[in-house]
Structure 1
Amino acid sequence: MTSAFTGLLAYPITPLAEDGSVDLDGLAGLVGAAVAAGVDGVVLLATSGAGVSFDDAERDAVVRVAVAAAGRAPVHAGVAGESAHRVVARARAAVDAGASGLVLPPFAYLPLDDAEVRALYARVATAVPGAPVCFYNKPVQLGFDVSPDLLATLRDDGSVVAVKDPASLPSRPAGRVAALRAAGVVVGLSGDPALTDGAEPADAWHTGLAALAPAEYVAVRRARVGRSEAADAARTWLHDLARAVAATGRPLAALHAVATLLGTPTAPPRDALVPLTAADGQALRDVVARRP
């Protein structure tokens, strides 16, 4: 089993029916459309997919349906859990369901230190040997920011092949991508506002909006070297949409709203305790209406 975690990786939401159950047909539609538009892979059950809000049976169904819808395109699965035991169980289940690779953040009740992170990733590597793992770095949310030195250690341990890193943080030094590459891992960036507005070149883009507007994102990714009028229009629209999503302060709820506006009806995410305001909803509608 191999996976480079390179190119444009789309992170679909997990669509929900009005009763809160998983809309597997809606998910299959999102995955199939993204692959048909030319994305290089799909990542399920991570932040955009609200993976921690689903039980084991739902997660299994999500992975199996997406793998079938994706055809030959790689499908990766987020396997965050509240304990190492749960992470290992989810990793095994995802691989059994056909996932090509795993995306794992250093999630825990309390922030982990380097030794604990190394132990967590080693347990996953032992449990699912040969399954490539991408380190999902979420320093703002999890209180842990992976260093290039630790990534090199994880690579040498055989437990990590790639990293997903925020494209823009105020504390980030210049040359972050180069430093991560020096660790010997594939470097991917996330954060739609930055990706659509001059982020450092990287081996991969990890993005939720690419699953909702894949044709536009594929055009922008392919035109990152050179320019075209069509790609410029798509970039401007995606950047405006990314900023509107971020401005809500509730990006997961906003992605569900955008999905509905773009033709995949879905109930709000299970863990969205406060709905979008009317003003936020209108701002999203205004941007979607300008789709080139």
Structure 2
Amino acid sequence: MTSAFTGLLAYPITPLGDSGEVDLGALEGLVARAVDAGVDGVVVLATSGAGVSFDHAERDAVVRVAVAAAEGTPVHVGVAGESVHLVVARARAARDAGAGGLVLPPFAYLPLDGAEVRALYARVAATVPGLPVCFYNKPVQLGFDVSPALLGALAADGSVAAVKDPASLPARPGGRVAELRARAQALAVGLSGDAALLGGAEPADAWHTGLAALAPAEYVAVRRARAAGTDDGGAAATAQAWLLQAAHAVAATGRPVTALHALAGLLGTRTAPPRDGLVPLTPNDEAALRMVVAQRP
């Protein structure tokens, strides 16, 4: 499948200075290194990038710096907002700053039902025609799990071109990717969740991952080996084992964005904790991340 949302999509953190300001130089470095390693796209200001914590001017600067650093590799932008008005404004701003696509969860101040979700995506698609939109499904966080039928309707409407779906949920049986494809054959089906992706998730058109922005060379090697069917115990297997260790350490903190910021610092990208990281990592969590970095192949 050829789509703006296929392959390995890296979700960088938004690095911060000591006073909480956006460190655009550090962001530029993260994006450039990911692109140089061979990722297929970059997504800024989504969950890993803590996009809802930045104002219009900060968001605009982040997108423009990322687009410049990517040098032609697609840069997609998370445009979540607690109101349709805010989502539409962010979609326009992202388009004007050079975004290659949008990543949008069905998020609002009050929970949305199916009809409201369909109206939201139709409104965004009409506002920025020609800019592909990826449906960011976050059922655990938002309490809304998009059905294959609704995704099929959104694809038929032309409102979405792709979906980012959890690679694993406790109550969800296997075969989800095939079911989504059956409902909307033109939809690029992507999966998220590092531990599940690295541990053998169903084949999908895309992997969406924050960890790939911090360790892009390793993640590119794993994704390419998986796509080629050559994961045979060589360098890609070594990279996969280390990435799985990192993914489990990040997940174990219970504060994944804060953990990604901490991991970024240990891997050479200086950053303060995220603005929404009100509770710091425990000493045990920090020690586990340090151990992961020390064991990097």
Under TM normalisation by the shorter chain, which class is it? Answer: over 0.9
| In 1: Cα distance, 2:284 partner to 2:156 partner | 49
Equivalent position of 1:39 in the other structure: 39
CA drift at 1:3: 4.7
Match of 1:99, SS state, is coil
| In 2: Cα distance, 1:3 partner to 1:197 partner | 25
Q: Which amino acid aligns with 1:244?
A: A
- Following TM superposition, the consecutive aligned residue runs of length 4 or more in structure 1 with deviations greater than 2 angstroms are none
| In 1: Cα distance, 2:156 partner to 2:237 partner | 40
CA drift at 1:110: 2.4
Equivalent position of 1:195 in the other structure: 197
Q: Superposed, which structure 2 residues align to 1:116-195 within 5 Å? A: 116-182=116-182, 183-184=184-185, 185-195=187-197
Q: Superposed, which structure 2 residues align to 1:1-292 within 5 Å? A: 3-182=3-182, 183-184=184-185, 185-224=187-226, 225-228=229-232, 229-292=234-297
| In 2: Cα distance, 1:159 partner to 1:44 partner | 21
| In 2: Cα distance, 1:142 partner to 1:209 partner | 22
CA drift at 1:104: 0.2
Q: Which amino acid aligns with 1:217?
A: Y
Match of 2:292, SS state, is helix
TM-score w.r.t. length of structure 1: 0.98
| In 2: Cα distance, 1:102 partner to 1:289 partner | 36
Q: Which amino acid aligns with 2:256?
A: P
| In 2: Cα distance, 1:102 partner to 1:174 partner | 27
Match of 2:287, SS state, is helix
Q: Any stretches of 5+ residues in structure 2 without a counterpart?
A: none
CA drift at 1:4: 2.6
Q: Which amino acid aligns with 1:272?
A: G
Match of 2:191, SS state, is strand
Q: What CA deviation, in whole Å up to 9, does each residue of 1:103-145 have, x standing for no partner?
A: 0000012221110000000110111011100000000000100
Q: Any stretches of 5+ residues in structure 1 without a counterpart?
A: none
| In 2: Cα distance, 1:158 partner to 1:30 partner | 32
Match of 2:249, SS state, is helix
CA drift at 1:172: 1.1
CA drift at 1:32: 0.2
| In 1: Cα distance, 2:265 partner to 2:174 partner | 38
Match of 2:103, SS state, is strand
TM-score w.r.t. length of structure 2: 0.97
| In 1: Cα distance, 2:161 partner to 2:172 partner | 22
Q: What CA deviation, in whole Å up to 9, does each residue of 1:26-81 have, x standing for no partner?
A: 00000000000000000000000000000000000000000000001000000000
Q: Which amino acid aligns with 2:275?
A: R
| In 2: Cα distance, 1:3 partner to 1:265 partner | 33
CA drift at 1:226: 1.7
Q: Which amino acid aligns with 1:256?
A: H
Query: Structure 1 residues 107-116 or 38-47, which shifts more?
Result: 107-116
Query: Structure 1 residues 6-15 or 104-113, which shifts more?
Result: 104-113
**Equivalent residues of 2:4, 2:74 under 8 A apart:** no
| In 1: Cα distance, 2:230 partner to 2:66 partner | 33
Match of 2:76, SS state, is strand
| In 2: Cα distance, 1:110 partner to 1:226 partner | 46
Query: Structure 1 residues 225-234 or 158-167, which shifts more?
Result: 225-234
**Equivalent residues of 2:44, 2:75 under 8 A apart:** yes
| In 2: Cα distance, 1:195 partner to 1:109 partner | 31
**Equivalent residues of 1:63, 1:97 under 8 A apart:** yes
- Provide the identity percentage: 78
Match of 1:206, SS state, is strand
**Equivalent residues of 1:46, 1:77 under 8 A apart:** yes
> Alpha carbon RMSD of aligned pairs, Å?
0.9
Aligned length: 291
**Equivalent residues of 2:101, 2:133 under 8 A apart:** yes
**Equivalent residues of 2:106, 2:136 under 8 A apart:** yes
Q: Which amino acid aligns with 2:65?
A: V
